[in-house]
Structure 1
Amino acid sequence: MNRLTDHLIIISFDCLSALDFPILSELPHFQNILRTGALIKNVKSIYPSVTYPCHATIVTGNYPKRHGVINNTHLQPGRLSPDWNWYRNCIHGTTLYDEAKKANLTTAALLWPVTAKANIDYNMPEIFANRPWHNQILVSLMSGSPRFQWDLNRKYGHIRKGLNQPELDDFVLESTVDTIKTKKPNLLMVHFTDLDTQRHYHGFSSEEALAAIERHNYRLGRIINALKESGIYENSTVVALGDHSALDENKAINLNVLFHEKGLITSNGKGKIINWKAYCKSCDGSAYIYIKDHYDTSTLHDVRQLVDSLLINPESGIESALTGAQASEKGADGACAFMLEAKKGYFFLEDFEGEFIKTITKEDVNRDHKYTLACHGYSPEKEEYGTIFMAAGKGIQADTLPSIRLIDEGPTFARLLGLDLGQTDGRVIEEILKI
């Protein structure tokens, strides 16, 4: 299969929404992409529409139930900070970067989710120290390309302030520019989270979110300039995309509080779970309910009765419920007993003590970052909840399409590089390609 481009640069602006288009169309570097390239105004995300499953979908072309990354974090009841799906081996099947490596293409990734210990030439994975004895830099070094990361930390580490934004994305930007100039990769994947962070802690349409979009415009411009300075711009394709949108919320649903009251979760009285029969696992705007013992029909019956009662209660904050089989049909984890969808204005947490419905204030958010003022994870079928896709450069035909699905992006990227991801849930968007 012939390659349509020599250098594919995929820039993921986490939480970039289709609703941001009027703002993007006024910013000069996004304008450059829009003027000469392809725009897809509404991209339907996946279920649950959270970052790690979304990014695994982008590189596989498959739904979560197939690629295996069914949530950001693992099911670990009782863990204050559950482990994330950081590692490449969380993904079932092949990926875009695996196929690129097989074709002897040079690959690079900067904070791209689910790439820890991946076979990527120049890899700075998104992973953080999640144990008191872990060191952040060492955890990153050991999970990616040590010499590459060490060099970037030596040059630009002073920019960072831990995981705080916008400093983290500023560090990622300088690392991206450096990687383009020194490595000239055939495939570069970079993940910026500034906008996602601002929306979580300040709200969807906040001044802080708008400022992050403007910073992203600057970052896009720096990346394009780096391609030009490296002499590879004319042979490159630049893609700017989002993974999901977000919705404002101010009420947290703590279903585990009810499970705890009914004896389905037991604790030691000191805030520690010691056993559980049923557990509500948050995906922010949606949630999985898992039954520990699949043969425990009594617990399943109790949970079903509780869910049914909540669905007819307008104050519960729960919009709808799917069985595990129905969740699987939507591409989510069929191993759950139920999958719940929150109403607009609500999201799920995993607290098992306190209030069933907690109203969130700005003070709560400032005090504890498990609380947010906007989040994602909702059904991609919710109104005004799409994300966006734009691409320009070699192999791209100027066009505007009304919509695609997130699962279509991976096969399209593979086609640009002359690769094949095999049988995928998504399709190649041939309408925007110069084949």
Structure 2
Amino acid sequence: MMARLTNHLIVISFDCLSALDFPLLQTLPHFRTIIEKGSYVEKVETIYPSVTYPCHTTIVTGNNPNRHGIINNTLLQPGRSSPDWNWFRNLIKGTTLYDEAKKANLTTAALLWPVTGRANIDYNLPEIFPNRPWQNQIMVSLRSGSPRFQWDLNQRFGHLRNGLNQPELDDFVLESTVHTIKTKKPNLLLVHFTDLDTKRHVFGFSANEAIAAIHRHNDRLGRILSALKESGIYENSTIVALGDHSALDENKALSLNVLFQKEKLITTNAKGKINNWKAYCKSCDGSAYIYLKDNNDFETSLKVKILLDSLMADPEAGIEKILTAEEAALMGADGSCTFMVEAKKGYYFLEDFQGEYVKRITREDVLADHKYTLACHGYSPEKSDYSTIFMAAGKGIRQKTIVPFARLIDEGPTLARLLGLDLGNTDGKIIEELLTL
């Protein structure tokens, strides 16, 4: 077994934190503490598609989506207005950072970390929400995580929550994190904050509301640092603050399924519900998978290709690139799609099959329906100004080292190395420049 570089690894994911935020982070005291006492990667290349659940699974596996199996946030459920999400650990192929930590008899904790439902984590409050009329938040959470631990957190801090609304949800997660550090002193703690991501979706990338969320994140980071000191483990801890993807402003939504329905590739019943489909556009926001019900249906495949080519030729149609299944797989995405499409900057994909192909999004649309946004992610990591960030300080981390570039797939092996663990043969590699090896 490799030597352990730290006793307590605290991984804090600030969802949608961008490399473009770095100048602001340098002015905020608690982020500045991490930057000055530790090291950071200037630009971290995210994965494809760059959406939250695949990204967070990559962070704990070191693999691309087509290797770890979480190829999108939500499942392919054509016609469902609210598809189920990839909530559960058993959907991940291969091992994870928390699995290996558990095998090494380390204490593990996770707070709203994606794809940890029913995971073997000692203290687990998984990210999951009720998606059926007969479900409620408390029960779906309790069933999917550590019941006694969650019940205690809800009794203590549940009053802070306001459904899934932000910043209240992150305020609840913060108090739960501080309490977990003080009472459990875990060797591995994974925490996921979504305040910034939510505000960017609703108001735009550089909106005042997004900037305010970064300031709140600075305060949250400060509270976590204080909790580590108060619990007496600060000197033996490593604090990692990272983002999973960036975001790009957009104001036009593309609904390929509208065109598929016109071509009779999607059919509906008298109530307007999908009753059959030959081709379906599965959104990843800035990109989308095109799936065929029958992968051997060459007639439908040709029909879809002709349609996509015609859209590519139209500068107003919003399509930047069409990838084959093989090209998508080479990018790390789901090779079982038939095509993958990338939106131009300013555009993103919906799964609507009624209405218009291109819809211009207004502030009123966003406030009326959460499927509409003014900034999103999911785009190709090749897009410009689209990197995320990784910074770390504490045991096992070199001081004042700046690494110009790394990839999201490199984070898993690096985090594992800090705890003396090995994730096996991963797509990513250890960022050795950051570590006191």
TM-score range, shorter chain: over 0.9
Q: Which residue of 2 aligns with 1:424?
A: 426
SS of corresponding position for 2:44: strand
Structure 1 residue 269, shift from structure 2 partner: 3.8
- Share of identical aligned residues, percent? 74
Q: Aligned letter for 1:319?
A: E
Q: Which residue of 1 aligns with 2:322?
A: 321
Structure 1 residue 305, shift from structure 2 partner: 0.6
* Equivalent residues in 2 for 1:227-306, closer than 5 Å: 227-306=228-307
Higher deviation after alignment, 267-276 or 288-297: 267-276
SS of corresponding position for 1:114: coil
Q: Aligned letter for 1:419?
A: L
Kindly indicate whether residue 355 of structure 2 is the aligned counterpart of residue 354 of structure 1: yes
Structure 2 unmatched runs, 5+: none
Kindly indicate whether residue 414 of structure 2 is the aligned counterpart of residue 412 of structure 1: yes
Encode CA deviations 1:289-323: one digit per residue, 9 max, x unaligned: 00000111110110011111111111110000100
Q: Which residue of 2 aligns with 1:396?
A: 397
Q: Aligned letter for 1:234?
A: E
Q: Aligned letter for 1:74?
A: L
CA distance in 2, matches of 1:296, 1:30: 53
TM-score, normalised relative to structure 2:
0.99
Q: Which residue of 2 aligns with 1:67?
A: 68
SS of corresponding position for 2:23: helix
Q: Aligned letter for 2:344?
A: K
SS of corresponding position for 2:50: coil
* Equivalent residues in 2 for 1:13-52, closer than 5 Å: 13-52=14-53
Structure 1 unmatched runs, 5+: none
TM-score, normalised relative to structure 1:
1.00
Higher deviation after alignment, 265-274 or 388-397: 265-274
Runs of 4+ aligned residues of structure 1 deviating over 4 Å after TM superposition are: none
CA distance in 2, matches of 1:59, 1:392: 19
CA distance in 1, matches of 2:319, 2:305: 14
Q: Aligned letter for 1:426?
A: G
CA distance in 2, matches of 1:413, 1:295: 42
Q: Which residue of 2 aligns with 1:87?
A: 88
* Equivalent residues in 2 for 1:166-181, closer than 5 Å: 166-181=167-182
CA distance in 2, matches of 1:78, 1:347: 19
* Equivalent residues in 2 for 1:111-126, closer than 5 Å: 111-126=112-127
Higher deviation after alignment, 267-276 or 28-37: 267-276
SS of corresponding position for 1:240: strand
Q: Aligned letter for 1:184?
A: K
CA distance in 2, matches of 1:330, 1:357: 27
Q: Aligned letter for 1:401?
A: V
SS of corresponding position for 2:379: coil
Structure 1 residue 83, shift from structure 2 partner: 0.3
Q: How many residues were matched structurally? A: 435
CA distance in 2, matches of 1:362, 1:209: 15
SS of corresponding position for 2:128: coil
Q: Aligned letter for 1:122?
A: Y
Encode CA deviations 1:169-217: one digit per residue, 9 max, x unaligned: 0000000000000000000000000000000000000000000000000
CA distance in 2, matches of 1:307, 1:368: 28
CA distance in 2, matches of 1:363, 1:350: 20
CA distance in 1, matches of 2:375, 2:112: 22
SS of corresponding position for 1:11: strand
CA distance in 2, matches of 1:314, 1:291: 26
CA distance in 2, matches of 1:71, 1:308: 24
Q: Aligned letter for 1:432?
A: L
CA distance in 2, matches of 1:355, 1:371: 14
CA distance in 1, matches of 2:387, 2:62: 17
RMSD: 0.4
Structure 1 residue 268, shift from structure 2 partner: 1.2
CA distance in 1, matches of 2:383, 2:256: 22
Structure 1 residue 39, shift from structure 2 partner: 1.0
SS of corresponding position for 2:409: helix
